[in-house]
Amino acid sequence: MIKSLLALAAICFGIKSFSQKADSLNIYSEAMKKEIKTLVVHPSNCKNKVLPTVYILHGYSGFPERTLRKDIPSLKRLSEELQMIFVLPDGNYDSWYIDSPKLKYETFIAEELTNYIRKKYNPDQSKTALMGWSMGGHGALYIGSRHQKTFTAIGSVCGVMDFVPFGREYGVAELLGENNRSWTSFTAISQIDKLKTTRQKILISCGTDDPLITQNRNFHQQLIAMKIPHLYEERPGTHDADYWSKACVTQIIQLNQYFSNHD
């Protein structure tokens, strides 16, 4: 399976790149009373097509332009070759993609952003994925499990399954207060029961030298114990762009295959 995916990736990268676009948008969030910078990468001929859409959430301290430049630099090419739309919202550095007293990023991603994209790009709503890495992996699992009618597939790469142990160092206290006992219900692992009856495609990947590997393995084992179908992958690597840029491409190809099999 992995060999076939890598072969497909190699074929994709060998094909001549066509014209593709990246729209830079400022999308107003009524919930937060501000505009959110969002990049939308789409094929040049998408106007007359109903295409799958993948929402991609960056990690802690990231931003959409960095995603295109460093984290997944092949996105433009993949958009054209796989005929997919990629939506890259700005996660405000350390929002953790949750609804907190200060920020409402779950509401923005799951409702406001998706509604905007539907109206502007007319994507195939039955083929909508949410994925991300690190903080974005947390966001994909947390939001995806809570909005199963919106996202038909969710993918996490080296995701944070539980930020409680180290959240003070990464802005969580500013979002949810100093009492870390109240943080638990905002973690990805706290939402796992919602996946018991899901029909979503679930993809999880983590590097074997990643500090988060134990969290990811525990999440994987809980899914197995609960008999929740999912695809779990480990490969050599640590918590850096070299790992997640490759793992994200693999997940995008897996999502493309999944959507193609559900025409």
Per-residue model confidence as pLDDT tens digits over 183-225: 999 999 999 999 999 999 999 999 999 999 999 999 999 999 9
Size of the chain, expressed as the number of residues it contains: 263
Q: What is the mean pLDDT of the chain?
A: 93
The arithmetic mean of pLDDT across residues 242-252, rounded, is 98
pLDDT of residue 92: 97
Within 10 angstroms of residue 94's Cβ, the number of other Cβ atoms is: 17
Whether pLDDT at 118 is above 70: yes
What is the share, in percent, of the chain residues with pLDDT greater than 70?
A: 92
User: Is residue 20 very low, low, confident or very high in pLDDT (cuts 50, 70, 90)?
Assistant: low
Q: Is the model's pLDDT at 2 over the cut of 60?
A: no
* Overall number of domains in the chain: 1
Tell me the pLDDT tens digit for each residue of 61-81.
Answer: 999 999 999 999 999 999 999
| pLDDT of res. 13 | 39
Q: Which residues contact 57 (CB under 8 A, 6 or more apart)?
A: 89, 91, 97, 109, 130, 131, 132, 133, 135, 136, 137, 139, 140
pLDDT at 47: 75
- Over residues 93-117, the mean pLDDT reads 97
Q: Which residues pair with 207 in a beta bridge?
A: 235
Region 224-231: what's the mean pLDDT?
98
pLDDT at 262: 83
Tell me if 195 sits within 8 A of 225, measured CB to CB. Answer: no
- pLDDT tens column, 143-189: 999 999 999 999 999 999 999 999 999 999 999 999 999 999 999 99
pLDDT above 50 for 18: no
The pTM for the full model equals 0.92
Share of residues in the chain with pLDDT > 90 (%): 89
CATH code of the domain containing 155 = 3.40.50.1820
The parent domain of residue 179 ranges over: 2-44+52-260
Quick check: 39 and 75 in contact, CB under 8 A?
A: no
pLDDT at 94: 97
On the CB side of 43, how many CA atoms lie within 13 Å of its CA? 19
Name the nearest CA neighbour of 230 among 222, 238, 242: 222
Query: How many other C-beta atoms are found inside a 10 Å radius of the C-beta of residue 1?
Result: 8
Residue (of 2, 3, 49, 47) closest to 21 by Cα position = 47
DSSP 143-167: HHHH-TTT-SEEEEES--S--TTTG
Closest CA to 243 of 211, 202, 201: 211
pLDDT in tens, 34-49: 999 999 999 987 778 9
